[in-house]
Amino acid sequence: MCLERNGKRQERIGRIAAIRVDSSTMIGSGHLMRCLTLAERMRGDGWEVHFICRDLPGNLFALVEAHGFFLHLLPRHRHDASLQGYAVWLTVSQEADAVETREVLQKLPSVRRLVVDNYALDRTWERKLRPLTDEIFVIDDLANRPHDCDILLDQNFYRDMEGRYIGLVPAQCRQLLGPRYALLRKEFYEARQTLRKRDGKLRRILIFYGGSDETRETEKAIAALLQVGLSKIEVDVVVGSSNACQEAIQKCCEGHECLHYHLQVNHMADLMAKADLSLGAGGTTTWERCFLGLPAIVTAIAENQLEICQGCAEAGLIYYLGRWDEVSKEDIADSIRIFSQPERLRIFQKNCQLQEALGKIKDFGMKCKSDSRQTND
């Protein structure tokens, strides 16, 4: 059987999986990027992967097609004033989203796995889609709502990791918890193989605060660096295509030889490997930095990053400044001055590497429940 993709006929291969995930100026790019990483791993194991994404302002669904996956767009809706919290991200109720997602799934033959990565969706949505799939795979890191799922992945570091989802998932749910299950792209494994040994000297700094950076931390960090005035330091400034201030940031970088502007890069691992210190947020890139031993001065740019940042700071993995509305350019500048001291930076470079099996991503859930049943029959 064949499907259409980008106007071309595509032969069907293997098992079918669908991934429900969104990206936007408000949501950022992290959810989509980690789902793309999972999709690549699944494709390598013989899965045919379909993305189901809502058409939201500042979306990055072009990346889905660029990676060669099938893309199904859910329609854009007007803002619903009755929605609160993370439900605002969805722009519709869970029930309405489930109906539209169901319409897509019903057009696909035998969806073996449904992956969902969205803070606005929970057991209410999952139960409505349960009849259309063999297995539901949830990616979460909030642990603030119940799920009806067979696999739950939370790749983040918490003090009470093992108990976070007690009572929130079915007893038989397979829980994949902690950074040893971090979704790292292939480029990070390749970069680690040739990683140089950092010596505490500060030669290059990487600035990256996520795909959208709604709180404008990038500009704050640039101002801090210029205030410190470190000579002979090269700075890579990375922004996502959904960053509303990208033109202003580019113009600022063009005015200083030491600032190198990068837009929506596909070589982040290379930039991290070259850097001696980074300024960034507490999202998905936390584990990418740790995997490559890159120390980071971190600002939490969203509520869901607060607990992660606090836990990582206590473990010595990051230097944590606080939440976005509490961190000034002076705070960032003072931190840069601290780690411009070779001995301080050398110790930080050593401590920021998370040793506990980080990067040894298990072949988690590459088989689904129906595969096991067929094997046992």
The string of pLDDT tens digits covering residues 78-102 is: 878 889 899 999 999 999 999 999 9
What pLDDT does residue 374 have? Answer: 42
Structure tokens at 69: 């996956």
59 neighbors 205 (Cβ within 8 angstroms): no
What pLDDT does residue 370 have? Answer: 59
What pLDDT does residue 355 have? Answer: 58
Tokens 């709604």 found at: 214
Residues of the chain with CATH 3.40.50.11190: 7-183+361-376
What pLDDT does residue 231 have? Answer: 81
Q: Which residues contact 356 (CB under 8 A, 6 or more apart)?
A: 178, 179, 180
What pLDDT does residue 6 have? Answer: 45
Residues of the chain with CATH 3.40.50.2000: 187-351
Q: So what CATH class is 187-351? A: alpha beta
Q: What is the chain's alpha carbon radius of gyration, rounded to the nearest angstrom?
A: 21
What pLDDT does residue 131 have? Answer: 97
- Cα gap 84→351, rounded to integer Å: 40
What pLDDT does residue 358 have? Answer: 46
Q: So what CATH class is 7-183+361-376? A: alpha beta
What pLDDT does residue 371 have? Answer: 61
Q: List the chain residues with pLDDT less than 50.
A: 1-10, 356-365, 372-377
